[in-house]
Each structure stands twice: as C-alpha cells, then as structure tokens.
Structure 1
Amino acid sequence: MSTPAVRHISECFLKPHRPIEESNKICQLTPWDILLLSYHYIQKGLLFKKPETATRDDQHDFIENLLNKLKTSLSHALSLFYPLSGCLVTRKTQDPPSYAFFVDCNNTDGARFIYAALDMTISDILSPADVPPILHSLFDHHKAVNHDGHTMPLLSIQVTELVDGVFIGFSMNHVIGDGTSYWNFFNTWSQIFQAHQALGHEHDVRILHPPIHDRWFPNDCGRSVNLPYKHHDEFISNFEQPLLRERIFHFSAESIAKLKAKANSESNMSEISSFQSLSALVWRSITRARFLPYEERTSCKMAINNRSRMEPRMPEEYFGNLVQMVSAEATARELVENDLGWAAWQLHVAVANHNDKVVNQSLKGWLESPFIPQIGKLFDPNAVLMGSSPRFNKYGCEFGMGKALAIRSGYGNKFDGKVSSYPGREGGGSIDLEVCLLPHHMIALESDKEFISAVSVSNLPC
C-alpha cells in the first residue's frame, strides 16, 4: 500500500506585530554564524494529540482556531526575535574579491506559515521501529542550505494536521542561531500562545528572559567578516545524504544512572557526566557495528555550547551561534578493547579542556584563513557526532493540546553516525537518542548486546 502524501492547503507570511526599530533593521553576522552557510536548516518538530472533542464534528473549527492562535502568537514572538523575519543579504567587492553577509530585517516578506494535511495517524508515525521517511515532508525547506536564506524565508513553520494529531515542524536558518537560540524561540512562542489563550485575547506578553541580539565578535575582528571569494559556488555545495535508517532509542533515568556509575567506577573517577557516559556507549557500539579494522582511527564529536565556556560568560539568552565541536579520538582497537570508563574519560577530557582560550584561538585561526566547511566533507565515515541536547526544554512547548507526544526531526544535517539527543518525555533525566546509520550498520547496532541492554522501553501515550 502506498504512503499517503502531504497536502499543502494554505500558506502565508507573518511579520513582527510591532514595527522594527531603525537601529535593528540590519543584523550583522559573526564568524560563528558565517561558518554554517553551507549546512542545512535546523529542522525539529513536536507531535501533539488532538483534543478528544476535535476528533468529532468540530474538527474544522478546532484547526481554524488553532491556526489563528498560532499565527497571532507567532507574530508577537517575531517582535522579540525579529532577525527570524529577515533575509540574508550579500555585499560583494571585486578588488580584492570578497563576500560579506548580514541580515536585512526590514525589506522582507517575513516568516512563512504553512498549513498542510496528511491522512495518517499518530500510531503510523510512532509505531514503526524506524522513523518513517514521511517525517521529512512535515518540514518546509527540504534539503535547503543556509545560504538559500537569500531567497527563502529564514524561518518557516509547517503545521500538519493528522487524522488524530497535529505536527508542528519548525525550520530555522542555522546562520541565525544555534540550538539554544532555536529552543529559546520555540519556548517563547509557546509562552505567548499560552498567555493569549489564558486571557482570551492577544496582548503583549512580558518575557522574563528576552533574547539578546547584540552579536559577539572576537577582539580586533570589527563588526563585519569578509570572505575571500568571487562567487558563492566556491564555498556553497549541496549535500545529499545516503540511504539511512533512523531510529529512536529510549534510555530511562535509571539506565543512564547505571551507565554513569559504571563509567566512573571503571575509570576510578567521579567527574564523568551522565551524557558523557551515554555518548561513550554510543561511540563504542557504533564502532563495533561498523566492523572497523583495529588500526583505523575513529572519533566522537560532541556539540558544545560556548556560552558557559567564555570569559566573561555569555548569557543563555544570547541569540546567535555560539556552538562548537569537541572531539575525542582513538583507534578502533583502543576503543573496543578498553572498557566504557576509558572511552567516557576521553570524552570528559575533551569537554573539560574546552575553555575560553581554546574558543578564541580557534576563531583567530579562522580569521587568518577563513573558509566555509562543507557538511559532506567534514565528517569522516568512522566518526560519531552527538548533536542537539537533552537539556533543551523541548517538551515545555505547548500549544493548547497538552504536552507533546514526541520530538522528531527533518532531513537536515544527517549522515551515517549522526546522533541527536532529546529529553525523554517522562523527564527525570531520561534521554531519547535519534540514531542515523547506514542500513547494515543499524542491523549490527540492533544486535549489539552492550547497547541494547542499556536501551529502555518507552511507553508513549497514543
């Protein structure tokens, strides 16, 4: 039986409900932002269950009311996060050749809002062992890279109505912000939605932790970064992911506590964190699943938030990109023949050594010889990359339908060995891992005893 197709029913563009101040109409981009020009948009979404009454005769009224409230609250949220309503603009010079980028927050259509429908149920989405490929169609900007923000909206929301649920897919240009910025916006939008719903009318909502838009530039950098290129074809390329299997593996708080205790006991330490212990398990297990020759080197890269690493510390409300990768490396023999504690300690050291000096040294080197990384060339086939974070308040985003049932992602930035971490729905320190692997690697991982013994059963309410 063929899979139903997503039907786009309507779309519109939304702007901030308040005019943008003159001083805010141009947003400069930092080196951290520009480095992501050839990556994909961030694509994450939440799956909600329709209220029981909405599954009967008043489905039309329910979805109409929901869409109107989402649009109104989104417009209010854009007043606080105004760069998301802008577009990328390039300033070029010929002699010497250079590119400079900024965001025009004024001369733009705004953020795109799409209403779509899909004749599938929540069970169709959550019951299969693998994440169904139809999930990629629940997001706008499929396969778009961030440089496409010159002609595509920097933010696009797709609300897809299912038979018994609603999926809200959020595509944000990664040049505008990192995961911390992404979820700060999502949570703020939710807060405004709930405040409007509680009072029964729209109004300005006081946000306790509004975004900070004063972008951070390293010393002696100035407020503009120029790339030594003549044409964007020299630094932008499209990345086509191979055929992958995607699975969600759930780890209860109890299972993760056991991994942490085991890692610290085996390394005779006490500093190894829960997430470092879980990442070590994933690194070892995927390396075994790949059957790497013992002499080959493998790495585990972890996305790290530089806000807490810088001196002075940057606030979490900083809106932009302050994320970097730290990496631990070993031969396949070292990783497989040593225990979990050994691997977790390598990751702990990599994280502990990442400080303000390292951050500024890496930026200094890039400014001396700037380049744009290409996602297809950056990650070798022996690497594991731990992305996203279980610390983000993802299940705190509610839009009148109660707590989300699940978090899912789109096509963007996936390859063999990409692992995204989400908080478990039940909270308490539980974690869900979205693992992307080549099919034969996934089969081997599913048979890995150490890995599977740590996986917990997740009972999602459908």
Structure 2
Amino acid sequence: MGSHSINSDPSPVRVVGRRTVKPPPRPRDLIPLTTWDVSFLSADYIQKGLLYAPPPFPTARLVDHLQAALADALAAYYPVAGRFVTEKHGGGCSVSIDCDGQGVDILHAVADGVAVADAIPPDADVPRLVHSFFPLDGAVNHDGHHLPLFVVQVTELADGVFIGFAYNHALSDGTAFWDFLNVWAGIARARLPLLSGGKEAASWDFQPPLLERWSPDSVPGPVVLPFPDLTGLIDRLSPQPLRERMLHFSGESLAALKERARQELLAAGDAAGAAAVTRFQALSSLVWRCVTRARSLPAEQPTACRAAINNRARLRPQLPPDYFGNTIYAISTEAVRAGELLERGHGWATAAMGRAVAAHTDADIRARVAAWMAKPVVYTNRYFDPNCVMMGSSPRFDMYGCDFGWGKPLAARSGRANKFDGKASLYPGRDDGGGIDAELVLAPEHMARLEQDQEFWAAVTPDSPALGL
C-alpha cells in the first residue's frame, strides 16, 4: 500500500518491529456480511489513534504488554483476527468473514525527534506528520481479503507514545470498534501486575460482543450480490489537498448554541422544534451554515447536512448495544438553497437536522434495506455531494476510557482515511465538562474563508496552552 502523501517531506517515523497476534485456537467459523457491512467494502479502513504520556516502562515491554492483552481480547472478538472471503453463487457472490485465526499485526515505530507538541500544536492545523502514525494508509475495506482486518502502530515520540489503529470498517461500525478497544484496554489494565513482576493478573469482566449478524426476516442466509465478484466496484480515490483542524466546543458553548436555536424557533412559532433541540443538532447547524458560507455557494445551489446515525436503538425490536457489526446509515436534512439556509438562520437549520433524526424510524431503516437489496451498491466518497456537509464519528464513543494501564489518553486524532471537503468528525471532549471536539476537514480555500467567520469562531473554545499535559 503506497502512501499518497501530498507532502513530499520524508517521514520521521521508522517501523522497527512487526508481530502478529492470534486469538486462542477455536473451530473455524464463517460469518456472512450484511447489507450494511457490504456497502462499506470500497470505503477506507477506520484510522483513529490516541496520544499518551510516556509509560513507566520501555516501549519494547509496552508492546509485549499490549500484545498479551490483545490476544486475550481476540478470544471474544475473534472475527477481528479473520480475513474476508468471497464465495460464488451462480453468477453472483457473497462476502463473509473467514474466522480462522489468521491474526492482526502490531507495529513498533519510532518518530525520531518528534515531541507531543509537534503532533498537537494549539490553535493550528493538524500536522501532516500525524498521518504517518497510522498503518495501512490507502487500504480500502475490500483489501481485508488479504490484509489484516486490524493493525496497530505503536509510535515512540520524544516525550510520549501514539497508538494508531487501522480497522476494517466492513467488520463493524465505530460503536463496536470503540467497545473492542475499551475491552482490550481493560484487559491490559488488569494485566499490569504481571508487567511489574506479579504472579497473576486481576480479572476484568466485560460483556462479550454479540457476533450474530442482523438481517431482516425477508433476507435469510448471506447477502448475494448480482456480480461475479466485487473487484470492479472497488474505487480508489486519490486524496485531494485538504486542511484539517481539531476544534473544541465547551459544554457552555454548546448549551449557548442550543439555547440560541431554541429561542429562534420559539420566536418563529415552532414550539415542537424548539422542544426537540439537542446539542448535536445545534452544532451540526453551526457547521453546516458556516461551511456553506465559507464555500461561497451560489444562492440557488441546493445543500444539505448529513449525519451518520446508529440504528441499534431505532430498530424494533432493538438490537443490543453490544451488537458487533455495522448498523449505521447516513441520514440527511431536506435539501435547501444555500441562500435560504443562511437567511433562515441557526434555529431553522437545527430543527431541519432534528426532523431528519426523528424521521429515521424502524420502518425507514427496513425500507432502506429493501431498497438496497433491490439495487445493491458499494458506496464511495464519489457518492458524496460536494455542496453538502457530513457529520461523522460520535462524542458518545468512549475514546478517553482507553487506558491501557498508565493513564487516559492526552488527545485523539485520525489518519488520512475517509476525509473530504465538508467532513466533520465529532469526538468527546477530554475535559469531562460535556464538551465536544470537532475534527473539521475542508479544501484549503474554504478553510481560509471559515477562519474569517465571526459566527463560527464565537462558538469555538480556544485551546488551553497546557493542553492538559
């Protein structure tokens, strides 16, 4: 997998070791992918990572510690250690996870002369350097036929360590991915006595994942696609020049955005819309309107705000929270002309996102599954309207719970994967005060105009100089 850097500087990151981690032996199992999983096969792997203070032991021992805990976690999450396999069905095909313990990889890397402050400079773009902390750059999920479905890169910095994860998105969504990482971290914390010469690890209880895949009653067995194989549907896009900023919105700032939307809706006579306002909807409205303004779209140009939404609790009966697989759709507001969006104001855009969320019911989900089965499609970023905004990830993911034994992360960052102009990924704030961090990706000229937008920056909470270090 070649790296497609638009920056020709040589990376200071050197990989100095690689090891394969396998789950304990178990009977071979084949888990068919569902409609939700298959539709991700042309998307990039998830690339998310966490920055830590230096551990109180050498990195070589740290990697041993992580490896032992990961092997234990894979006993429950054994599909993560598998590979994809395509099976023929007449003129069609299906894709399954071949759970044969093929293994996942841990890389040990060193970033010579790179400090924590170089990776997370305050009030500045995310440096390109951060992309080199992630493995499998340029891999798409279909590559899980021959690549590991999960690869970890442990990068030593001068005064910290960055753990970068590359995880196959056709295997599961972010909810299940972060649950898996937190189980691994919990096992690692319980094993700490062993690291310091103790006799035994503490026990750590967790809810094992539900590995049985969901499909509607009308779709028994594997999802058969009307193609002899999927290689012709896999799209590899060259990355565009992008700028990326990590912006903090404090709990107070989000409360103010929510209240402003509520007051505008009440003034417009929309009491129902005002009562339904959430912080997520108010933040989505701010991003949608301010990015639309920064793009200088023609007044007549239609635009919409889209968001990734978790289907688990919306299905009837509900899927359990520990369901392991993909259960997400992108929902969308109604399209509105850019000029109207800006004239109608913050409250209207907030309520538009609220209506999109409310409309995403069990019936809507099942209708989408039926429509996809009638005309299967593997999505790529080409399907994204460049005049829209996309809200991804979730502040509900327990990123800062991933303490492998020497403290919670200092920061969360992502790699180059799944990025395009108008993508905002939401992270929990580290401060526990109800804040949200938004990783916003825009074309350079759009970011430059957004940086002049007073409405937007009035809501952004400035970085504290110490960054909690």
Fold agreement, TM-score > 0.5: yes
- Mapped partners of 2:424, 2:446: distance in 1: 13
Q: What is the CA-CA distance between 1:428 and the residue it aligns to? A: 2.0
1:7 has 2:2 as partner: no
1:358 has 2:364 as partner: yes
Aligned partner of 1:438 among 425, 435, 443:
443
Q: What is the CA-CA distance between 1:458 and the residue it aligns to? A: 2.5
Matched with 1:306 is: 311
Q: What is the CA-CA distance between 1:2 and the residue it aligns to? A: 5.7
TM-superposition CA deviations, 1:195-214 (whole Å, max 9, x none): 11156456584433221101
Aligned partner of 1:165 among 160, 163, 166:
160
Matched with 2:92 is: 98
1:461 has 2:468 as partner: yes
* Paired letter, 1:33: D
- Mapped partners of 1:315, 1:395: distance in 2: 23
| Match runs of 1:199-210 below 5 Å | 200=198, 205-210=203-208
CA contact (8 A) 1:72 1:202 kept: no
Aligned partner of 2:63 among 57, 62, 67:
67
Q: What is the CA-CA distance between 1:401 and the residue it aligns to? A: 2.7
Aligned partner of 2:79 among 83, 100, 123:
83
Q: What is the CA-CA distance between 1:230 and the residue it aligns to? A: 2.8
TM-superposition CA deviations, 1:156-190 (whole Å, max 9, x none): 01101101110001111001000001100011011
TM-superposition CA deviations, 1:390-439 (whole Å, max 9, x none): 01111010122312111000111100001100011102210100000000
Matched with 2:43 is: 39
Unaligned runs of 5+ in 1: 55-60
Matched with 2:385 is: 380
- Mapped partners of 1:2, 1:221: distance in 2: 50
- Mapped partners of 1:345, 1:429: distance in 2: 21
* Paired letter, 2:359: N
| Match runs of 1:124-139 below 5 Å | 124-127=118-121, 129-139=124-134
Aligned partner of 1:215 among 207, 213, 216:
213
- Mapped partners of 2:435, 2:455: distance in 1: 18
Q: What is the CA-CA distance between 1:324 and the residue it aligns to? A: 0.6
- Mapped partners of 1:204, 1:311: distance in 2: 39
Q: What is the CA-CA distance between 1:3 and the residue it aligns to? A: 6.1
Matched with 2:281 is: 276
- Mapped partners of 1:63, 1:400: distance in 2: 13
CA contact (8 A) 2:93 2:228 kept: yes
Aligned partner of 2:453 among 442, 448, 461:
448
Q: What is the CA-CA distance between 1:27 and the residue it aligns to? A: 1.5
TM-superposition CA deviations, 1:360-389 (whole Å, max 9, x none): 0000011112121222x1111101100000
- Mapped partners of 1:211, 1:204: distance in 2: 21
CA contact (8 A) 1:155 1:172 kept: yes
User: The residue matched to 1:226 in structure 2 has which SS?
Assistant: coil
Identify which range, 227-236 or 211-220, moves more after superposition.
Answer: 227-236
TM-superposition CA deviations, 1:218-272 (whole Å, max 9, x none): 1121121111113433211102221000001111100000001111111121211
User: The residue matched to 1:294 in structure 2 has which SS?
Assistant: coil
Matched with 1:58 is: none
Aligned partner of 1:337 among 336, 343, 354:
343
Q: What is the CA-CA distance between 1:19 and the residue it aligns to? A: 2.2
Matched with 2:375 is: 369
Matched with 1:57 is: none
* Paired letter, 2:99: C
Q: Give % identity.
A: 44
- Mapped partners of 1:204, 1:222: distance in 2: 42
- Mapped partners of 1:335, 1:202: distance in 2: 61
Matched with 1:224 is: 222
Which TM-score applies when normalising by structure 1? 0.94
* Paired letter, 2:259: A
Q: What is the CA-CA distance between 1:317 and the residue it aligns to? A: 0.4
CA contact (8 A) 1:76 1:204 kept: no
CA contact (8 A) 1:155 1:170 kept: yes
Identify which range, 123-132 or 245-254, moves more after superposition.
Answer: 123-132
TM-superposition CA deviations, 1:126-146 (whole Å, max 9, x none): 116111112111111101100
- Mapped partners of 2:424, 2:305: distance in 1: 10
- Mapped partners of 2:386, 2:398: distance in 1: 31
- Mapped partners of 1:347, 1:171: distance in 2: 31
Matched with 1:347 is: 353
- Mapped partners of 2:9, 2:339: distance in 1: 45
CA contact (8 A) 2:251 2:433 kept: yes
Q: Once superposed, what is the RMSD of the aligned Cα atoms?
A: 1.6
Aligned length: 447
- Mapped partners of 2:203, 2:147: distance in 1: 29
* Paired letter, 1:337: E
Aligned partner of 1:113 among 106, 113, 133:
106
User: The residue matched to 2:438 in structure 1 has which SS?
Assistant: strand
Unaligned runs of 5+ in 2: 1-7, 267-273
Q: What is the CA-CA distance between 1:461 and the residue it aligns to? A: 2.6
Identify which range, 42-51 or 342-351, moves more after superposition.
Answer: 42-51
